[in-house]
Amino acid sequence: MSQYKIEAGTGQHIGDRQEQQDRVALFAAPHAPGYMMAVVADGMGGKSGGALAAEQVVRTSKQLFDEFYPGNNVQALLENILNEAHTVIKLTAVSSEKEPHSTFVALVLTPQHEAIWAHAGDSRLYRFTGPNFGEKTRDHSYVEKLVDEGKILPEEAKTHKLSNILVNVLGSTNATPYITFGKHKNLKVGDSFLLCTDGLWHYFDDAELSAAVAANTPRQASELLIRKARDRGNPRGDNCTFAIVKLINQPTEVKTYTVQKIRSAI
């Protein structure tokens, strides 16, 4: 099985909003070497409310990933994160008289060269193979439902007047959130992932995102994507937040020593 090194980074911009309500984080599992997690949350709910909801998603993700051990079920971990974060966000709504909500998308890479992800809402995960688009999550949104029913075309969804209406979020007092899982096995050098809020994906097509990620380091890609999103979204750009995870070749070991003949001790 091929060996690879994980190269990852995050990017974030407030856009033209007054407050940054998105959150993003990368974690290693202290009790499970070789496992890593990326998580992105897009908060909603008025001033500070959305930020509190998204922060709770990230905080819960770290807390439960810190308790993860090899042999534990990754899908169960992701579902527990969603359920616990949802419960706490609802309690926050009661105590603060706000109506906070959040989306959720998370990715876990395992030492068995497997990627497992889950999402709720319209924050997305993209998977790429080199410069080629592989797949992406399907939004839990009203317009995606219209697409599924054949009432609008996929290209109409982005500009539909109800494109911001979600049918599945954490923190809702009217419905229990559901989770959608994805999986990809036999990871190899050249595979990459992008997790992002709608403040990023709204301004790009699949090919643009795959090319930007493939041709650059995570930091370079972050700078490029934020700049383009700002150009295209100005003056009504949303919060823009994302994580990039790339699998690259292991660095070649460079010899930093010299071997000398050992003199006889006798």
pLDDT of residue 121: 98
Pairwise CA distance, residues 240 & 21, whole Å? 10
pLDDT of residue 65: 98
SS3 of the chain: the string is CCCCEEEEEEEEECCCCCCCCEEEEEEECCCCCCCEEEEEEEEECCCCHHHHHHHHHHHHHHHHHHCCCCCCCHHHHHHHHHHHHHHHHHHHHHHHCCCCEECEEEEEEECCCEEEEEEECCCEEEEEECCEEEEECCCCEHHHHHHHCCCCCHHHHCCCCCCCCECCCECCCCCCCCCEEEEECCCCCCEEEEEECHHHHCCCCHHHHHHHHHCCCHHHHHHHHHHHHHHHHCCCCCCEEEEEEEEECCCCCCCCCCCCCCCCCC
Q: pTM of this prediction? A: 0.92
pLDDT of residue 257: 62
Pairwise CA distance, residues 198 & 149, whole Å? 22
Q: What is the pLDDT along the chain (266 residues), one digit of tens a residue?
A: 468 999 999 999 999 999 999 999 999 999 999 999 999 999 998 778 999 999 999 999 999 999 999 999 999 999 999 999 999 999 987 666 678 999 999 999 999 999 999 999 999 999 999 999 999 999 999 999 999 999 999 888 888 999 889 999 999 988 999 999 999 999 999 999 999 999 999 999 999 999 999 999 999 999 999 999 999 999 999 999 999 999 999 877 666 666 565 555 44
Q: CA dist 244 to 8, 38, 69, 209, Å?
A: 5, 8, 24, 11
pLDDT of residue 1: 45
Q: Which domains, and CATH codes, for the chain? A: 5-133+165-248 (3.60.40.10)
Pairwise CA distance, residues 177 & 131, whole Å? 34
Q: Rounded to a whole number, what is the distance in angstroms from the first to the last CA of the chain?
A: 49
Pairwise CA distance, residues 196 & 105, whole Å? 8
